[in-house]
Structure 1
Amino acid sequence: MMQHVLITGGSGLIGKSITKLLQDEGKEVAWLSRSPKNKAQTSFFWDPEKGMLDQEALYWADGIIHLAGAGVADKRWTVRRKKEILDSRVDGSTLLYQELQKVRDKPKAFISSSAIGYYGFNTGDKLVFEGDPPGNDFLAEVVRKWEAASERIQDLKIRTVLLRVGIVLAKDGGALAELLKPPVTAPLGSGNQYMSWIHLEDVSRMFVHALENQGISGLYNAVGPVPVTNRVLIRKAAKLSGKPFLNMGVPGFALKLALGEMAQMVLGGNRVSSEKMEGTGFQFNFGDLHLALTDLFEKK
């Protein structure tokens, strides 16, 4: 039984949601944090950049959920920011691997976040699966190196699962808040690019499902079962949130001027399969976009 769960990136959107789910099940949850004394949540110290980690956390944990990484869309992609995005992911996974080697009674499971950015900025309308090749852009490179660092954990005979997370829909924070930020919403670019979305509750449940089921290991896409185009998602979200919608795409050149290289994330898209995860017995609470958005906008 996984009674003690250690989470990196616990203070983020997904981390907080997973923490609540686990605690509602009666499990004890602790975070790894650079400032553990400032957290209301039970926390242990770590600093991946300096290669420091309180080993007591690893002796305490039955399972680890690894979410830590600098926000991909938080700042413009300068050379320095790109290095931060990559290093924050690789350094954290590498530090955990190094420190877990020293622990005799190791945790039973290691569940790491990854991203559908692995497949590249734009795979068109092709349905992509876990075995498809990686892209050749910046984010694909980040995910390849991130996964390689995390996969080493399985060499320590710890069951390892990597979840390639799609676009997480949440009421407060995440992609949805950004898409609805303008006074008048509109498709981005052509609006025909696919968005492989997943409700925050479902992706959180997926991490817990992977943690608690011993038969699950390896790579899985963490996306909902029905990807939709950018135009469809924004139009539905605008309607349910009461925001005006203009059915005229924001020009790609304007997005590139505003966002720089990061514009490729919203101008491209991926149509990603959830079939492998569903094959483990996972059932979505919000597999339909209308149902997911209705739930989010009806929440107080």
Structure 2
Amino acid sequence: MQHILITGGSGLIGNSITELLQEKGKEVAWLSRNPEKYSQKSFFWDPDEGKLDPDALYWADAIIHLAGAGVADKRWTDRRKQEILDSRVNGSNLLFQELQKVRDKPKAFISSSAVGYYGFDTGDRLVFEGDPPGRDFLAEVVRKWEAATEKIQELKIRTVLLRVGIVLAKDGGALAELLKPPVAAPLGSGNQYMSWIHLKDIARMFVHALENQGISGLYNAVGPVPVTNSVLTRKAARLSGKPFLNIGVPAFGLKLALGEMAQMVLGGNRVSSEKMEGTGFEFTYGDLHQALTDLFQKK
């Protein structure tokens, strides 16, 4: 039985990947600061303290690396921004450092990254993996995160980095936030692009990257049809039974409420999934209506 070790396993994407891998007959364990907290098999690690149970890496046939502090969980103070960066870079650095000591190394290392690499707002231009990074805070975080993760390749471990877009799920992530107010409305102009992907498809994409030996390097992990914030919010409101008001939440109000983080929701990226589709990956929910129907109208 193949052993898959996951960092960030208790999160939205990690839980979905765990479920999918177990359905496929693989044994899954998580790396966690509090392994005793979960019924899932777990090993201890603390990236901030540079500690990791060595048994975890000897146990693992492959690693899926998702860990990182939530980008939208708290207002971006200087301290919070440092936490967002450190939680990603420290984890990757610790895994690299400890993997050097392991004789029979895992065969694959599949890491999360983010479309934030391209910058807060790339307009309606379609962006690809080879495009340059943005110059804002999140772009800098992703650039350093990827640089730390790419060192794993030096250990002759097949390494894949998936630049994840906006994950659509019923009970978490961006969709829950968009529909939280009593009335759904576009953010700012509503014309900014959202490169979305259904939760089940992002889980399947990680497993696809894990199982296919020919996949390595950088891939955008987004659905095939990005849409504007206004289109996504309107459709989500209709299918969830929420009232929709076609008057954008003013940008200045968002900036007051969110500070620098407002740039993340007022900007957007239209990101290409072409490279991943070229590996033979097929979306189950490639159409927005189909994806939202699955999330909101399941009985």
Normalised to the residue count of structure 1, the TM-score between the two structures is 0.99
2: CA distance, partners of 1:40 / 1:9:
15
Question: Structure 1: which 5+ runs fail to align?
Answer: none
Q: Look up the match of 2:27.
A: 28
SS in 2 for 1:285: coil
Percent of aligned pairs with the same amino acid:
85
Q: Look up the match of 1:37.
A: 36
Q: Look up the match of 2:232.
A: 233
2: CA distance, partners of 1:149 / 1:299:
40
Q: Look up the match of 2:45.
A: 46
1: CA distance, partners of 2:218 / 2:188:
31
Matched letter for residue 115 of structure 2: I
Deviations 1:74-132 (A, max 9, x none): 00000000000000000000000000000000000000000000000000000000000
1: CA distance, partners of 2:175 / 2:267:
17
Q: Look up the match of 2:166.
A: 167
Asked if residue 67 in structure 1 is aligned to residue 66 in structure 2, the reply is yes
Matched letter for residue 75 of structure 2: R
Q: Look up the match of 1:243.
A: 242
1: CA distance, partners of 2:103 / 2:44:
20
1: CA distance, partners of 2:174 / 2:54:
35
Q: Look up the match of 1:257.
A: 256
Q: Look up the match of 1:217.
A: 216
TM-superposed deviation, 1:250: 0.6
TM-superposed deviation, 1:64: 0.2
Asked if residue 145 in structure 1 is aligned to residue 140 in structure 2, the reply is no
TM-superposed deviation, 1:235: 0.1
Asked if residue 77 in structure 1 is aligned to residue 76 in structure 2, the reply is yes
1: CA distance, partners of 2:188 / 2:23:
42
Q: Look up the match of 1:123.
A: 122
Deviations 1:192-227 (A, max 9, x none): 000000000000000000001000000000000000
2: CA distance, partners of 1:35 / 1:242:
39
TM-superposed deviation, 1:37: 1.2
Q: Look up the match of 2:296.
A: 297
SS in 1 for 2:183: coil
Asked if residue 195 in structure 1 is aligned to residue 197 in structure 2, the reply is no
TM-superposed deviation, 1:38: 1.5
Tell me the number of residue pairs that the alignment of Structure 1 and Structure 2 aligns: 299
Deviations 1:46-77 (A, max 9, x none): 00000000011101101000000000000000
TM-superposed deviation, 1:298: 1.8
Q: Look up the match of 2:269.
A: 270
Q: Look up the match of 1:183.
A: 182
Matched letter for residue 120 of structure 1: G
SS in 2 for 1:291: helix
Query: What do you get for the CA RMSD once the two structures are aligned?
Result: 0.6
Matched letter for residue 10 of structure 2: S
Q: Look up the match of 2:12.
A: 13
Question: Structure 2: which 5+ runs fail to align?
Answer: none
TM-superposed deviation, 1:299: 3.0
Matched letter for residue 226 of structure 2: P
Normalised to the residue count of structure 2, the TM-score between the two structures is 0.99
2: CA distance, partners of 1:22 / 1:298:
26
TM-superposed deviation, 1:257: 0.4
1: CA distance, partners of 2:35 / 2:196:
32
2: CA distance, partners of 1:242 / 1:34:
39
SS in 2 for 1:190: coil
Matched letter for residue 297 of structure 2: E
Deviations 1:218-275 (A, max 9, x none): 0000000000000000000000000000001011000000000000000000000000
2: CA distance, partners of 1:229 / 1:122:
12
1: CA distance, partners of 2:234 / 2:38:
38
2: CA distance, partners of 1:257 / 1:40:
41
Matched letter for residue 234 of structure 2: R
Q: Look up the match of 1:206.
A: 205
2: CA distance, partners of 1:148 / 1:220:
15
